[in-house]
Structures are given as C-alpha cells and as structure tokens.
C-alpha cells in the first residue's frame, strides 16, 4: 500500500466499513467520515469538532459497534462532548488531548467499563479530574499539562496503571516516592515537571519502572548517576535537561541496562557523542539538536549496536552521512534539518539497509532522489522540504515505498494523489502527524511507543 502525501499530513484508504459515505454535518471531517475510518478506529485529529459535532458522531456510532477507538485530539470538545462519548461502553481507546475538558468530563470518562487507553493531555481536568482515576484499571492514562497539583498527583500515584503520563503537572518528592513504590507502573512520563536531582535518586529505587521520561527537567549529574545505575531501566529520556559532555560521560561509565536513550536538546558536543558511540549497550539513541557536527556523527560509524539513530539538526554535512552509511545494522536513521546534498545521499542510498529514513529539510535534488528510489530496503521515507524537481519526484513515486512524504518540494503538489487531510495506519504503525513534520510524528507506535518522546522541539 503506497501513499504519497504533502506537507505533514498522512492518508488512508477507507476500508469501506462505514455504512454511509457521510454524516449530515457542516463539519468537513464528519461530512466525509469514511475518509477518517480505518479498521476499528476513527481518526478525527484537528477537525474543529465541537460538542454538537460529537453528538452527531455519537448517534452514528450506535450503528457501528465494531468501532472501538476514537482518536480526536486537537478539537473544541468540552466535558459535554466527553460525557457523550463516555456513553459508548464498547470503546476501548479514546484520545481527547488538546481539547477543553474539565473535571466533569474526566469523571465521566473514568467510569467507562471497557476503556483501556485514555489520553487527555492539555485539557483542564485539575485535581478533581485526576482523583477520578485513583482506582482506575486503565492500561494507559495520559493526563499531562492539566493543571494538576501535588494533591491530585498523590491521589493517582498508587493507581494500578502500567503506563502513566503526568508531564507538565506539579509533582513533589512524596509524589515521586509513591510513584517509585507503585509496582504496577512500568512506563512513567514526568517531563516538564521542574524536577531536580532528587527525582533521579528517588525514582532509581523503583523495582518496576522500565521506561522513564524526564525531558525538560533539571536532573543533573547526581540524579543521572543514580538513574543509570538502576538496572531495571530500559529506556530513559533526558531531553532538554541542559546536559553537558561531562554528564554523558557518566552515562557511558555506568554499568547500565539501557537500550534506549534520548539526550536531544542538550549541550552535547562531539566529545559527548564520541563517548556515546563507544557504548555497546544502546540500541536506540536520540542525540538530535546538539552541536556534535560531522566529527561527532562520524564517531558512530564504528558502533555495532545502535539500530535506531536520530540526528536531527546536529550540523551534519555529507561527511557525516557518508560515515553513517557504513553502519549496516541501522534499521532507522533520522537526519532532518542538516546540510546533506546529493553527493552524501547517493552514498547513503547505495549502502543503507534499514527501513526508516528521514531526510527532510536538507539540500537534496533530483540526483539524490533518484538514488534513493533505487534502494530496495527503505519502506518509509520522509524527504520533504528539499529541492527535488519533477524528475526526482516521479522516480520516488514509482518506487516501492510503503510510505512516502515528499511535501514542500519543487513539484510535490503536482503528483499528490491523496488528500492531505487524512490519516494513514499501516499494520504495526499508527500515525497521527498533524503537529510535526519529522519522522518522529509517525514514530508514535500507539501505546507501544518507546524510543522517542516528542518534546518541546517538535511539538
């Protein structure tokens, strides 16, 4: 299934399971609802839905019990609309992030019997809304940036929820202690919570947390040392923590169990990158938005363990990308916002054996595009915001990619066959890319997402 998209939008081919081609609605998404349905899911991201629209959708949902997932972030839904959706007791997943839902809506949603995954980030549920989930049996609850105080956090810190997202709220040391002692939690997001080294020390005592996201905090060297010596951790995000090379040296000296590490948006130079490149434990590394340059990138050429490498905006040129082309184990390479041209891309195309490749915002022309079109291992290619003309676009269009984004190139709009307002879902990859144009946006692998936390740089 090959799709071509423009800009940062993705597409689907309707599965035809919707009985009617449209609902009688002035809302464009509802009027073309068949274009937003895939399998058991309705994708309604950024559709300008209001509560009246939700009532219209709800009436039709009654006729489609096979729909169990409604993903509707970035709309104008209030607690009234949330309460309407809560009446559908067969729903197992709801994404209502970036709406206007308060505690009333949260309480209604907390009582849905079949719901397992709920995302309510960037609403206003407050402490009362948080307390509604104190005894929840959800598998995943995401309530980041909801004006929740430490009192509200205390109410849910002991809840039996394996995946808990609490970023951007008020979290104190007693909260951290309770969260660390909660053996149900395996995946915890505490980003943008103004945490310091104490957070690292307290959370390192957890026996259950395997995936920990602490982006946008001030963890510091003491907290980092405690965390990397926690042999339970598999994935750690320390993005935007003002880390220096000396902090990275701590990571590499520890006998850690990490397979995934995000140190993007820090103050790491080529020296820190060289230290990370010598780590044989890491499988997934995000070092984007650091000034490591070609020298730092070249250090990874000799690494034999890293399979997923993100190096967005690191000051890389052809020298760096040619070095990375020599890494046969790379399954995913994301190198957006650099200065790579056709010379480097041609070498990469002739050697890259991975499936995911992100190269937007570089200096690629037809020659590089044609070279990439001949690579038979790439399945997902993001190459927007370059200087590719009609010849290169045509070559890419006729290649065998499962997913191709050529948005904002010289002739991209001339070949776009699919509406840029739709959403694509492939077998193992759920996509919702309305707010970012990097490969990161379709690295959101539903609730299995692990390797990259979208932080402030790509929101």
82-129 pLDDT, tens digit each: 999 999 999 999 999 999 999 999 999 999 999 999 999 999 999 999
Q: CA 310 to CA 336: how far, in whole Å?
A: 9
What is the SS3 assignment for 284? strand
Q: Which residue in 267, 304, 268, 260 sits closest to 286, CA to CA? A: 260
What are the φ/ψ torsions at residue 152 (nearest 5 degrees)? -65, -40
CB 388 within 8 A of CB 365: yes
- Tell me the pLDDT band of 39, cut-offs 50, 70 and 90: confident
11-37 pLDDT, tens digit each: 333 344 444 445 677 899 999 888 888
Return the structure tokens found at 242: 């003002």
Quote the percentage of the chain above a pLDDT of 90: 74
In this structure, the dihedral spanned by the alpha carbons of residues 194, 200, 203 and 205, taken in order and rounded to 10 degrees, is -160
Position 447 pLDDT exceeds 50: no
Q: CA 431 to CA 223: how far, in whole Å?
A: 34
Position 439 pLDDT exceeds 80: no
Angle CA 373–36–80, to nearest 5: 140
> pLDDT at position 22, please?
52
What are the φ/ψ torsions at residue 107 (nearest 5 degrees)? -65, -40
Of 165 and 228, more confident:
165
Q: Which residue in 283, 298, 246, 288 sits closest to 263, CA to CA? A: 288
- Tell me the pLDDT band of 421, cut-offs 50, 70 and 90: very low
Position 78 pLDDT exceeds 70: yes
Position 415 pLDDT exceeds 50: no
CB 282 within 8 A of CB 261: yes
pTM confidence score: 0.86
Q: CA 448 to CA 404: how far, in whole Å?
A: 23
Q: CA 187 to CA 191: how far, in whole Å?
A: 12
Q: CA 459 to CA 448: how far, in whole Å?
A: 19
Q: Which residues contact 448 (CB under 8 A, 6 or more apart)?
A: none
**Which residues does residue 141 pair with via DSSP β-bridges, in sequence order?**
118, 164
Q: CA 207 to CA 49: how far, in whole Å?
A: 42
Pairing of strands 211-213, 429-430: unpaired
Instruction: Determine the average pLDDT of the residues in 397-412.
Output: 80
What is the SS3 assignment for 222? helix
Helix boundaries (H) for 278-337: 293-298, 318-324
- Tell me the pLDDT band of 410, cut-offs 50, 70 and 90: low
**Which residues does residue 95 pair with via DSSP β-bridges, in sequence order?**
71, 119
* Per-position b or e across 17-36, b if 16+ CB within 10 A of its CB: ebeeeebebebebbebbebb
Angle between helices 79-86 and 103-110 (to 10 degrees): 10
Of 192 and 434, more confident:
192
296-349 pLDDT, tens digit each: 999 999 999 999 999 999 999 999 999 999 999 999 999 999 999 999 999 999
Q: CA 406 to CA 58: how far, in whole Å?
A: 36
Please report the sign of the dihedral spanned by the C-alpha atoms of residue 280, residue 380, residue 435, residue 457.
positive
Position 71 pLDDT exceeds 80: yes
Least-confidence region, from 178-187, 310-319, 344-353, 378-387: 378-387
> pLDDT at position 443, please?
37
Instruction: Determine the average pLDDT of the residues in 382-398.
Output: 92
């Amino acid at each position: 299934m090959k799709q071509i998209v423009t800009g940062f939008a993705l597409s689907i081919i309707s599965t035809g399971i919707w009985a009617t081609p449209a609902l009688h609605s002035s809302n464009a998404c509802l009027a073309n609802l068949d274009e937003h349905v895939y399998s058991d899911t309705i994708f309604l991201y950024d559709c300008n839905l209001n509560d009246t629209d939700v009532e219209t959708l709800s009436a039709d949902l009654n006729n489609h019990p096979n729909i169990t997932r409604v993903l509707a972030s970035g709309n104008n839904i209030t607690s009234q609309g949330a309460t309407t959706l809560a009446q559908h007791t067969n729903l197992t997943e709801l994404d209502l992030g970036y709406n206007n839902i308060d505690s009333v809506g949260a309480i209604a949603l907390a009582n849905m019997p079949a719901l397992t995954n709920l995302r309510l980030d960037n609403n206003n549920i407050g402490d009362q809304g948080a307390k509604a989930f104190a005894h929840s049996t959800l598998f995943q609850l995401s309530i980041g940036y909801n004006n929740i105080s430490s009192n509200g956090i205390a109410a849910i810190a002991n809840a039996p929820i394996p995946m808990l997202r609490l970023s951007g709220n008020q979290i104190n040391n007693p909260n951290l202690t309770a969260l660390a002692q909660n053996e149900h939690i395996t995946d915890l997001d505490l980003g943008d919570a103004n945490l310091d080294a104490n957070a690292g020390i307290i959370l390192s005592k957890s026996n259950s947390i395997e995936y920990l996201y602490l982006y946008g905090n001030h963890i510091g060297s003491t907290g980092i040392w405690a965390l990397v010596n926690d042999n339970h951790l598999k994935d750690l995000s320390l993005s935007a923590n003002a880390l220096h090379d000396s902090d990275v040296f701590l990571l590499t000296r520890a006998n850690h169990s990490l397979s995934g590490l995000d140190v993007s948006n820090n103050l790491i130079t080529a020296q820190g990158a060289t230290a990370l490149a010598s780590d044989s434990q890491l499988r997934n590394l995000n070092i984007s938005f650091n000034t490591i340059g070609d020298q730092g990138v070249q250090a990874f050429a000799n690494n034999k363990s890293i399979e997923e490498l993100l190096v967005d905006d690191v000051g890389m040129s052809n020298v760096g990308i040619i070095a990375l082309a020599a890494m046969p184990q790379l399954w995913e390479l994301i190198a957006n916002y650099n200065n790579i041209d056709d010379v480097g891309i041609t070498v990469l195309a002739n050697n890259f054996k991975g499936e995911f490749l992100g190269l937007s915002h570089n200096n690629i022309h037809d020659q590089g595009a044609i070279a990439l079109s001949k690579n038979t291992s790439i399945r997902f290619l993001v190459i927007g915001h370059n200087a590719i003309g009609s010849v290169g676009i045509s070559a890419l269009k006729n290649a065998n990619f499962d997913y191709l984004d050529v948005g904002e190139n010289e002739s991209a709009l001339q070949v776009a066959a699919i509406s840029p307002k739709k959403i694509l879902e492939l077998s193992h990859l759920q996509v919702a890319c309305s707010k970012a144009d990097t490969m990161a946006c379709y690295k959101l692998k539903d609730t299995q997402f692990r390797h990259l936390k979208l932080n402030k740089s790509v929101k």
